[in-house]
Structure formats: C-alpha cells, structure tokens
Amino acid sequence: MALTINLYYNNAQEDGDWGNLLNWWQDSGFTIQATALPTSTNPINLYGAFPTYPTYMTFKQNGTPVYYLALTYDVNGALTRVQQD
C-alpha cells in the first residue's frame, strides 16, 4: 500500500499558481518542500491566497493529466465545495 502524504499550499511564490511546486509543502509549518504536486491520493490543505471564483485545475505528470481539483465558492466568497478526482 502506498504512503499517503498530506500536502499544504501556501502561495509562497505569490503567483497563485497551484501547478508551481514551490507553493506546496509537506508540513503545516512550510519548512519541508513538497517533492511532487498533489495527486488524487494526497489530502490537501489550503493556506494563503487562492482565487475566489470557481477554480478548476488539472495536475499533469509528463504531460498526462493525473489529478483534477475543483473549488466552488458562494456569493460571499466562502469556499463551499472541494472536489478531487
């Protein structure tokens, strides 16, 4: 059975890019850099700035989509749904 690693996004590069590995960490203190982008097996934790509108992201590995993430917000900008496939 593969080990599942929690990943933490904090927009460290201030670019809002979820596909930028430098925005992802292996710990909530943001001291251990992630070695890969999240896949469908990684629970994710969001910190820092991210878009406040319906957001969809496909993570790719060697050009092949391997993971899909969708965030949905209410009219006040509150996160209402996170979908990972």
The single residue listed with the structure tokens 């596909």 is: 19
Both tokens assigned to 79: 């996160």
Backbone torsions φ then ψ of 57, nearest 5 degrees: -140, 135
The pLDDT tens digits for 14-34 are 877 777 899 899 999 999 999
The answer to whether position 53 is within a domain reads yes
The answer to whether position 26 is within a domain reads yes
Distance from C-alpha of 47 to C-alpha of 81, rounded to nearest angstrom? 16
The answer to whether position 1 is within a domain reads no
The pLDDT tens digits for 56-80 are 666 666 667 666 667 666 666 666 6
79 conformational bin, left if phi > 0, alpha if psi -120 to 50, beta if neither: beta
The answer to whether position 64 is within a domain reads yes
Is residue 51 pLDDT above 90, yes or no? no
Query: Residue 13 is part of which domain span?
Result: 7-84
The answer to whether position 2 is within a domain reads no
| Beta strands at 24-25 and 7-9: parallel, antiparallel or unpaired | antiparallel
The answer to whether position 45 is within a domain reads yes
Q: How many domains does the chain have?
A: 1
